[in-house]
Chain A
Amino acid sequence: MKRVLPAFWLIILLTLPLWLRDQYILHILITTGIFIIAAMSLNLLLGYTGQLSLGHVAFFGIGAYVSALTTLGFDVELLGGFRVVHEPWPAVTGFFIAIVIAGLSGYVIGKLSFKVRGAYFVIVTISFAEVTRLVALNWVELTQGPLALTNIPPFTLGFPGLGDYTFWDKTAYYYLVAIVGLVAYVVISRLVNSRIGRAMIALKENESLASSVGIDVTHYLVLAAVVSAAIAGGAGSLYAHYIKIIDPDIFLFIYTVTMVIMVITGGKGSLAGPVVGGLIFGFLPVIVRPFAAPAVQWILYGGLTILVVFVLPRGIVPTVQGWIASRAQSKGAPAGLIWAGNSEPGDAKR
């Protein structure tokens, strides 16, 4: 059963557009999928290394802007009179550059921020995201500020001999997001299950102990930050080329909050957690919209968040996994069970 379940979900994931004809739901799936990728990357920092990064949307936004600017081209004058002109490049190149630059910013922020821990780190990460937003808003020459970067072209892949294919169609974009999501999932799972991952979990559990046995704490934290930021940047690029318009509101704290809620309710520190959390909070607004005013919807999410923390503190996925594991244990009871108490087997029949 354990082997069958992931394969089952994989089949559903890959064949979805074939039997789901509703374009609107497909659209929701695509944007939800992009946010799930970002949430998975946040999980790496939040769940596995235990660092409360509340500025995660900064990496997402940086990826989006870098990708958009790479494909649109820009012309800015820097301090000292240097003029930087960039010609438009293909969208796919933008995607990879976005990943690199986002990863780099993860490195810089990681190196700077990990001098502080815990609550201070929270504040630094929030501040970083806010400063990024204000830069995007005010550096109008580069980012168009609140005018937004518009007409961002979609991805175009060139197949030798077959010609070009442009991702206008929703079905095609769905597959693109699904594939990138799968790649991200595999990367994260390989990282987490490797020696590096174990070191990360060790320092989450007990940092001073971990460093006393020789684990270079800062090194692993920075590594986690880089990978996490790079993946988030990739998700941002996907977002930019799908929605085709990017404005500084993408850096708003509320998007980080949404990702955090996805991760923690789904189950931080578990691979499937962000996926489950993402699906719930991606579709909840759509389901609730016809019935409740937006303010009421948000009150529901807030209440749900608090409820999950009180009732399912580890998140949905770990709790369900634990529940399944304990059921499996009790079902397998007859073989080799140590009887507790004084009753003999067969007592009940009397």
Chain B
Amino acid sequence: MRQYASKTALAAIVLAAGLATGAGAQETIKVGVIQPLTGAFAASGNYVANGAKIAADEINAKGGVLGKKLELVIEDNKSNPTEAAAVAEKLIVRDKVPVMMGAWGSGFTLAIMPKLMEYKVPMLVETSSAGKITTSGNPYIFRISPPSSVEAVAFAKIVDKLKIGKADFLVVNNDWGRGAADDFGKMFKEHNIKVGLVETMDPPAQDMSAQLAKIKASDADTLIITTAVEQLTLIFKQAAALGLKKRIITTGGSQNPDQLIEQAGAAANDTTHITFFTPWNPNVSADPAMAKAFIDEWKKRGYPFAGLTESFRGYDGIRTIAAAINKAGKAEPEAIRAAFWQIELPGMNGTIKFNKAGPAGQESGQSNPGIYLIKIENGKVVLPSA
């Protein structure tokens, strides 16, 4: 009798275990997330990853995707393109993710793109802004962040109001910065704005006083700057030290105005910025309720407010991926890729819908968000009066 009971118990345990693990194995849909969690861009990468987590938790609370839980497999590209390609390989081959989001920096995203072609897995690009990403003929790329060409087009709608006569450029020496100088320069010429100097700076450079001295002596009335928040801080401080009096407008979406105010202090006052999300004023968002809910959740989790200017991309990215998976009806790379073309959903800064970009027959998807112009005055972010 005891033997029979123990055998039954054993069988029951094994069965239960089998059910549990079996059920557990089918329970999640994995989505790969590649971000710089360490290295020079660690702050930004972590903001995006945390925004992604908020989206995943929100989706799972509402029942998940296709009846299963969404599981983010987050990998670190160490702010390095070679590492980015390596972790993409790992996610696809080892973790067998059917779709990914990444990889913050344009260089990292570009490094991953051959892998997408090789393994035929789609990736949603949430931050990178190099034009090349959507014009290389890679049908596995779907981008929600705008390249500078899209940014310039959006800016063109309000540029006449700013009455710029002649503009100088000070841009970081990479695709992002040079691309911005090219695209904005082209747009300016179409609006009868003269283009003066185009100065560049190396990404790790800390001393821009030579370039600023040159710009100070020029006859332009406006200076357009494209770079990330660390260099912006230095530029503002050095410009103030030189007594540079021109109007400053920054582009690119990596300005992080709160950090600018904190670190550049008074030197950041009277600067204007083109951004893609205004957490200081969620009412002007495309979907104010959603924006407010996201901001509240972010604050609730104790993350720094300054991170909202980047984390919203992780949030929007995961929601877009979930929508595509739902549309596809199955967690398979090819189905998800086809589904991306068919979805349309509200994002933080406009409707997310992918348009064709790049060479015919191998188009990538590009969504066109709206932009916001903000100004820093007296240590606070304000929306300039219309």
Contact = CB atoms under 8 A, between A and B. Distances in A.
A148 B107 contact: yes
Contacts of A151: 114, 136
B118 A249 contact: no
Nearest to A147: B175
A245 B76 contact: no
Interface string B55-92: 00000000000000000000010101110011001100
A23 interface: yes
Contacts of B132: 147, 150
B114 A245 contact: yes
B174 interface: yes
A138 B175 CA distance: 11
Contact of B111 (A27, A145, A148): A148
Interface in A65-121: none
Given A245-B85, A245-B111, A249-B80, A145 B93 contact: no
Interface string B103-118: 0000100110110001
B107 to A, nearest CB: 6
B94 interface: yes
A154 to B, nearest CB: 10
A283 to B, nearest CB: 13
Given A138-B173, A150-B136, A168-B118, A27 B86 contact: yes
Interface of A is mostly: helix
A150 B113 contact: yes
A145 B174 contact: yes
Interface string A131-173: 0000001101000011110110000000000000000100000
A27 B89 contact: yes
A95 B85 CA distance: 22
B319 interface: no
A27 B85 CA distance: 11
A243 B38 CA distance: 22
A200 to B, nearest CB: 33
Contacts of A294: 38-39, 76, 78
Contact of A148 (B78, B86, B94, B110): B110
B114 A145 contact: no
Given A150-B136, A151-B136, 8 more contacts: A23-B93, A24-B94, A27-B86, A147-B175, A148-B81, A243-B111, A245-B111, A293-B38
Interface of A: 23-24, 27-28, 31, 137-138, 140, 145-148, 150-151, 168, 243-245, 247, 249, 293-295
11 contacts: A24-B94, A31-B86, A146-B175, A147-B175, A243-B82, A243-B111, A245-B81, A247-B110, A249-B80, A249-B82, A294-B78
